[in-house]
Chains A and B, each alone.
Chain A
Amino acid sequence: MSDAPANRSERYDRRDPAGRRQRNRLFAGACVSVAALAVCVLVVLVASVALRGAGRLDLAFLTGANSEAVAEDAGFGPAIVGSLCLMMICALAAIPLGVGTALLLEEYAPRKRLLRWFHGVVQANITNLAGVPSIVYGILGYTALATMFNAVGSPDTPGFSFGARYVAEYRDLSNQSVFVGLDNAQAALPPASAGLAYFADADLSERLATQVVTAEEIDPMRAELTGALDGVERRFRTALRAAQPDGQRGPVRVTRELAAQIAGELFDGLELQGDLTAYRELAQAQLMKMDGLSGLDLLPVRRALVNDLRDMEFAAAGARGVLEAGAEPQRRQVRAWYYFQAPFGRSVLTGGLTLALVVLPIVIVSSQEAIRAVPSSQRDAALALGGTQWQSIEQVVLPTAVPGICTGTILAMSRAIGEAAPILLLAFSFIQFTPVFREGGSLMDAFTAMPLQVFQWTSNPGDAFQSTTAAGILVLLAVLLSFNAVAVFLRYRFQGPR
């Protein structure tokens, strides 16, 4: 037994044992030091970002709207909500499509020669698509989804839509909008014009919107409106005069009683179709502010009321213009939450579907691997019992493959959430509102997303946005890591020891 190695070592030229071991150690050492260097850089990077961004990481930042100009006001809310919406759409589109494609490629391999060739072409393409630069997907999304090759109208005048209705919008003299044709026209009026709740009359609004108000109807309405305004003006002057003893000019002592009196009388006896309570309360509150302060000029009160009255007058003038049918109303869209249009425009839906395209090859390939890992003996067993192909897939292949599919899919999603390039052409980094989850929001909303917002902040000149950027990066990192954590958890939960 001990002779054999001795014989062998005599027969062959021996490799230098010390040198062998040394090279082994050298390689291991090189690996460890390179890895350590990379980890060090990462730690420094994350630490510096954390230090810079931690200060800004508060609730206001997480929920607040973005600001382009003031770094301290810039919030991440729309971007976070935007990214989550994108993820939902991306997952809903990419998972069924990707798993379905993987099943088709793996389970329904064709027998015919031509189809087999086609199958091979599709497979090769999918593998190659995983390597296509994501900005290309962005352009694809813009062309095929946002504009749909301009084949079905344009995003602004879509060829197909539902879930929207139109109201007439008029501009008054102060360039404020007056909406007509809305059910809740009062809510749409500017606050100062609340006294002109005139259009709350649904029947009238309806007719205004459809432009069938006749001249005979307009005149009495105008008269009533003008009279009402004159009445308010007159009452204000009277009240003001009454408050000034002995017809003097100058400082006036305003008591609580006086304020209440003026406010109360201001609108007394007015007969408008609308409700004046809101305006009366506003005026009273303004007057009440003066209570207890002697020697104060009533000028601010007057100015406030005059301003309001002017607003009312402007609104009335605008309305008059409307009533005389001189002004062309703008059609304004009011969207329901389920609003949908055919060229998707630069919307959340387009963004989500574009990201789905980006991750689709990854989902397909990882699902294919998970499906391929199901032993063929399992399929044979199901088919041998008289199961159809679909029964074998549904009851044997999929249940076994699901953990693998989940892991691959979540990793794909975490790639999608960090992608900025595909949505570069689709998102609006300056938007201030929360996409989708707002009044009148729908999947057709413009959106921004976390990586894009960070990108936009970074490209701002100067240091102002540094901490804001850092805070954004921290949130993005946290979301990414939690995605990966779920993937790791799933893998251990399902693929660990059974």
Chain B
Amino acid sequence: MTAMIQAPPQPASTESCDSAAPALPETPADAQIEVERLDGFYGQAQALHGLSLSIARNQTTAFIGPSGCGKSTLLRWINRMNDLIPAARATGQVRIDGQDILAHGTDVVELRRRVGIVFQKPNPFPKSVYDNVAFGPRLHYRLSRSETDALVERSLRGAALWEEVKDRLKDSAFGLSGGQQQRLCIARAIAVEPQVLLMDEPCSALDPKSTVAIEDLMAELKQRYTIAIVTHNMQQAARASDYTGFLYEGRLVEFGPTQRVFSSPTQTRTEDYIAGRFG
């Protein structure tokens, strides 16, 4: 555990301190993802009502809100995982680096390579640790043995899991603990070198110790990836994110720098939710 915390290289941790020190602007200056008037439906039921927001490049943006407020739906539209739900449809725009990915003719396979996602429940494949990590790259590239080896090691190191599993790469991933499995899933997601990493309540199925490990990992990962995380846990949002959006019944109630949202929310509903008066 302590090794984990010390693991981030020195320059990285100072950099994250620097970026946190000056107050962030209300709307991100360098937005990688721009959501504009996004309406989301499941059949007749509308789950998202005209969401507009920006997700900052190389920062962590958290979405909080009570169950069923649409935060996971929002996340799953960013890499079109909602395509898998037959009745789901959306209108509006989600632009990633200026390109509207909801438009017809978007290459969803390529989109998902660029925008990785980590799910709530760890879902490793019933394969070895090694094959789990190598799975994504092998989908896209023909890799030699040594290339794969290097990629697996780099990804596992990136997910702060290498030291724990380097001696059992050939063992089944199901033998890992829940927290290790989730970090394996993160390693698997970053192995295809995405630009954006979406995390859908990645810690809700984990114990506090594993949660800390993953939060530490997120702080490190945002150096290289834009991270959007959905969480039930307000402390987690406060600890681990730069921006926070509060969703309620499919509407974006408040969005801003995490520090500001938690210390002086402009909306009473945000204040009530943060204070634990509902939700």
Contact = CB atoms under 8 A, between A and B. Distances in A.
Given A380-B84, A498-B174, A387 B139 contact: yes
Interface in B100-133: 109-113, 116-117, 119, 121, 123-126
B123 A375 contact: yes
B236 interface: no
A20 interface: no
Counting chain B CB atoms within 10 Å of each CB, the highest count among A379, A384, A498 belongs to A384
A109 interface: yes
Interface string B250-279: 000000000000000000000000000000
A385 B135 contact: yes
Contact of A385 (B124, B139, B172): B139
Contacts of B109: 386-388
Interface stretch (B18-26, B161-169, B185-193): B185-193
Contacts, number: 66
Contact of B123 (A111, A377, A386, A391): A377
Contact of A377 (B86, B119, B140, B174): B119
A123 B116 CA distance: 34
A301 interface: no
B81 A385 contact: no
Contacts of B119: 377, 380-381, 384
Contacts of A378: 123, 125-126
A379 B124 CA distance: 11
Given A375-B123, A498-B174, A383 B112 contact: yes
A395 interface: yes
B195 interface: no
Contacts of A387: 109, 136, 139
B59 interface: no
A384 B139 contact: no
Contacts of A111: 86
A176 interface: no
Nearest to B172: A498
A382 interface: yes
- The main secondary structure of chain B at its interface with chain A is helix
Contacts of A498: 126, 172, 174
A116 B174 CA distance: 36
Q: Name which of B113, B123, B188 has the most chain A CB atoms within 10 A of its CB.
A: B123
B231 interface: no
B241 interface: no
Chain B interface residue bracket vs A: 20 to 34
A383 B125 contact: no
A375 B113 CA distance: 22
A400 B126 contact: yes
Interface string A164-180: 00000000000000000
A129 interface: no
A474 interface: no
A380 B188 CA distance: 13
Contact of A386 (B112, B121, B125): B112
Interface in A342-391: 375, 377-388, 391
B139 A391 contact: yes
B79 interface: yes
Nearest to B191: A385
A385 B116 contact: yes
Contacts of B135: 382, 385, 395
A384 B86 contact: no
A384 B174 contact: no
Nearest to A116: B86
Interface in B161-219: 172, 174, 185, 188-189, 192
For A111, A379, A381, A382, the residue with the greatest tally of chain B CB atoms inside 10 Å of its CB is A381
A396 interface: yes
Interface string A394-427: 0110011000000000000000000000000000
B113 A385 contact: yes
Contacts of A384: 79, 81, 112, 116-117, 119, 189
Contacts of A116: 86
Nearest to A111: B86
B189 A385 contact: yes
Interface string A485-498: 00000000000001
A116 B87 CA distance: 11
A95 B140 CA distance: 30
Given A377-B119, A377-B123, A386 B192 contact: yes
A388 B112 CA distance: 10
Given A387-B139, A391-B139, A400-B126, 13 more contacts: A109-B86, A111-B86, A381-B125, A383-B84, A383-B112, A384-B189, A385-B188, A385-B189, A386-B109, A386-B110, A386-B112, A386-B136, A386-B192
22 contacts: A377-B121, A378-B123, A381-B119, A382-B125, A382-B139, A384-B81, A385-B112, A385-B116, A385-B135, A386-B110, A386-B111, A386-B112, A386-B136, A386-B139, A386-B140, A386-B192, A387-B109, A387-B136, A387-B139, A391-B139, A395-B139, A498-B172
In the A-B complex, the 8 residue pairs with the smallest Cβ-Cβ separation, listed nearest first, are A386-B113, A385-B136, A377-B123, A386-B112, A384-B117, A387-B139, A381-B123, A386-B109
